[in-house]
Amino acid sequence: MPAASSHDFIDRCAWAVDLSPEQRERVKRVTTVREYAQGDYVCHKGEMAEHWLGVVEGIVKITTVSPSGKSVTFTGVPTGGWFGEGAVLKSEIRKYDVMALRRSRIAFVPRDTFQWLLDTSLPFTRFLLMQFNERLGQFIAAVEYERLLDIDSRVARAVSSLFNEHLYPSLGNTIEISQEEIGLLAGISRQRANQALKVLEQQGLVRVDYGVIVVLDLEGLRQYGE
């Protein structure tokens, strides 16, 4: 079914540029793409991980349930981001839930192909190492942000975590995201997201346009509230 042209997004992935034509061909052949509506779950905690997942278009959020029972967002993953490598690598179950914040298309790379790339491509292995390192950084930031009760700070974190030049290189300093989606991401109401974004805009950290957020001071955004 998948004509080569329908999987062109593979060519634009940072981890694919250094693959051999044969490797890329195999990836394109076995990769499937599924579409999800807003609010749909891409995968659930506890499921066996059979695929490495990429956001072809849209945005998803990765959440876990804290011991106290409340849902806490680990991070959002925008277009161009890949996730789920941890569970695939170790043939484990998913450690989190993944929900689409808007209509999104998700790519599924089968586990055996993922393993094969790891075995045969040094550039791919390097990419994965980088990805793990960046995610570790995000995790550390998330642990700190857990104790931040201030809503404005949490929104600042949620937005700044979307801007990572290694994990999501295609993003630049602008992201198309509505305030409702910010609310979903940060676990707050759209109204409160609107309020928080105004505060951040007044501080000169972001510019809020129609359906768009432009980051003016990424470092300031990351450190906001500390």
**Vertex 95, ends 89 and 96: CA angle to 5°?**
125
Q: How many residues line the site for DNA (CB under 7 A)?
A: 14
Residue pair 102/181 in contact by the 8 Å Cβ criterion: yes
Nearest distance from residue 174's CB to DNA, in Å?
13
Nearest distance from residue 27's CB to DNA, in Å?
31
Among residues 172 and 211, whose Cβ is nearest to DNA? 211
Pairing of strands 71-78, 82-83: unpaired
Site string for DNA, 143-182 (x = CB under 7 A): -----------------------------------xxx--
Nearest distance from residue 198's CB to DNA, in Å?
7
Restricting to residues 179-218, which ones interact with DNA according to CB under 7 A? 179-180, 189-191, 194, 197-198, 208-212
CB atoms inside a 10 Å sphere around CB 128: 19
Nearest distance from residue 171's CB to DNA, in Å?
17
Site string for DNA, 24-43 (x = CB under 7 A): --------------------
Burial readout 87-109 (b: 16 or more C-beta within 10 A, e: otherwise): bbbeeeebebbbbbbbebbbbbb
Which of 149, 174, 176 lies closest to 70, judged by CA?
149
> Tokens 């940072």 sit at which residue?
14
**Interacting residues with DNA (CB under 7 A):** 178-180, 189-191, 194, 197-198, 208-212
